[in-house]
Structure 1
Amino acid sequence: MNHIELIKAVEWKDLKKLSLKEMLIENNISLPWLLISLLLAYNEYYWLALPFSGFYFLTALRQVHNGFHNSLGTGKFLTWLSLYLNSLTMMASIHAVKFNHIRHHKFCLSEEDYEGKSASMKWYEAILYGPKHMFLIHHITLKKANKTYRKNMFLELTSIAIIIFLVFYFQIHFLMYHVLVMIFGELLMAFFAVWTVHHDTHEDHNLARTQRGFWKNKLTFSMFYHMEHHLFPAVPTIKLPELAERIDRRLPELNKKQTF
């Protein structure tokens, strides 16, 4: 069964619509984790802050990922604002990430898919590749993106540079902690956001792994329903568990490689 046949076999269009509650969740899911991590860091409980920072990074990634696909349930400006503000807290141009992610869906795991380069590597190679991955994401945006993407990238990078300068110049220690942890997270993106969900799938027409198990998906905020996302990228993350159930019922024979 090819990609088109898979899409036709499963009802999914009703899942694009978000209720007010779901929209509020998707647009604010990262905020509690950010505030708790900063509060703990402000009181110098840095080790206690680390897991909250990790969950912030994961949930912010979920939020911007939905923004990439216009699945936040908000208008164009509020979606743009979400990507811009998360750029400032995640320490990378999220519009540059968006440009490469949209190309990732179009050219998945081909030569033109710069986001997906680490998928064919060994796990340790993907970790070591992290710094180059982040450089390439911004470089390819500069080289191949249109004027709007480049303008947004320069705005975000300039804003980030100003924030970093102010934070370190005035020695604001809890924000120094946040900046360093977020940069570390960005350097692991090639492994966590690409390799984990795409390794050893080049010969699979779905080109992505997925995850089953209630607690595994709860702890990862449904971010590893990646096969489902590639098949139906317009479906918001909050609806992916329901989409996965529909796929399992309709296509139980479908090969579903597990993420972990």
Structure 2
Amino acid sequence: MTHQELLRKVEWKDLKNLSVKEMLIENNLTIPWFLLSITLAYYKYYIAALPFSAFFFLTGLRQVHNGFHNSLGTNKFLTWLSLYINSILMMVSIHAVKFNHIRHHKYCLSEEDYEGKSAGMTWYGAILYGPVHMFLIHKITLQLGNKTYKRNVFLELTSIAAFAFLAIYFQIQFLIYHIIVMIIGELLMAFFAVWTVHHDTHEHPELARTQRTGWKNKLTFSMFYHLEHHLFPAVPTIKLPELAKRIDQVLPDIEKKKTF
């Protein structure tokens, strides 16, 4: 069954719309985790801060990912602002990530898909590939992106450098902690954001892996409904559980490889 046939069989367009409550959730999900992690780090409880930093990173990924697909329910400027602020807080040019992610959907797991390179590696190979992955997504955007993408990447990288310089120059320890943890998170992206959801799917790249265990999806903020996302990328993350139910009802035999 082709992607277009799947689109026709599953009712999904109504899921693109967010209520005010859902829009507020998607745009503010990162705030409590960031405040908790920074507060604990400020008082030098670094070990206690780690899980909250991890949840901030995960919810940040969810927020920017929705931003990539214009699924935050906000206007163009507020979506851009979300990507810009998260670039600084997550220590990576989010517009560079966006450029490669959109290409990932277009050229999924082909030679043109630079984001998806680690999908064909071993799990430990994907982890070791992390620094190359982060360098490559910036390089490819600056090589292939249009003027707007290049301008945004330059602005974000400059802002990140200024943020890091000020934190280190003034020895703001809780910000230095945050920067280190975020960089570690970014270096693991080739494994967590690519390999986990795409390994062993090259025969049918559109059928990414998925996670259907309730507590696991709650723990990961629904970020591993990746089969559903690749089939219907315009659907916001908050609606993916409902989308998964509709897919199961209409296409019960569709292949569902587990994420973890």
1:103 maps to 2:103: yes
Rounded Cα–Cα distance in structure 2 between residues aligned with 1:225 and 1:147? 33
- Alignment check: 8 A CA contact 2:109 2:205 kept: no
| TM-score of the two chains, using structure 1 as the length reference | 0.99
Rounded Cα–Cα distance in structure 2 between residues aligned with 1:214 and 1:149? 37
Coordinate RMSD, CA, aligned:
0.6
Rounded Cα–Cα distance in structure 2 between residues aligned with 1:159 and 1:203? 41
> 1:120-167 CA deviation, whole Å, 9 max, x = no partner?
000000000000000000000000000000000000000000010010
Post-superposition offset of 1:213: 1.1
Match of 2:175 in 1: 175
Residues 37 and 253 (structure 1), Cα distance of their counterparts in 2 relative to 1, 3 Å cut: same
- Alignment check: 8 A CA contact 1:34 1:56 kept: yes
Match of 2:36 in 1: 36
Match of 2:74 in 1: 74
- Matched residue type, 1:94: I
- Matched residue type, 1:160: I
Rounded Cα–Cα distance in structure 2 between residues aligned with 1:100 and 1:203? 21
Rounded Cα–Cα distance in structure 1 between residues aligned with 2:253 and 2:205? 14
Q: How does 1:86-235 map to 2 (within 5 A)?
A: 86-235=86-235
Rounded Cα–Cα distance in structure 2 between residues aligned with 1:242 and 1:206? 19
Structure 1: give runs of 5+ residues left out of the alignment.
Answer: none
Rounded Cα–Cα distance in structure 2 between residues aligned with 1:144 and 1:225? 29
Post-superposition offset of 1:205: 4.9
Post-superposition offset of 1:204: 2.0
- Alignment check: 8 A CA contact 1:3 1:205 kept: no
- Alignment check: 8 A CA contact 1:2 1:205 kept: no
Rounded Cα–Cα distance in structure 1 between residues aligned with 2:30 and 2:147? 29
Identity %: 77
- Alignment check: 8 A CA contact 2:198 2:205 kept: no
Post-superposition offset of 1:6: 1.1
- Alignment check: 8 A CA contact 1:108 1:207 kept: no
SS of equivalent residue, structure 1 residue 194: helix
- Matched residue type, 1:250: V
| TM-score of the two chains, using structure 2 as the length reference | 0.99
Match of 2:15 in 1: 15
Post-superposition offset of 1:66: 0.1
> 1:33-89 CA deviation, whole Å, 9 max, x = no partner?
000000000000000000000000000000000000000000000000000000010
Post-superposition offset of 1:7: 1.2
- Matched residue type, 1:192: F
- Matched residue type, 1:196: T
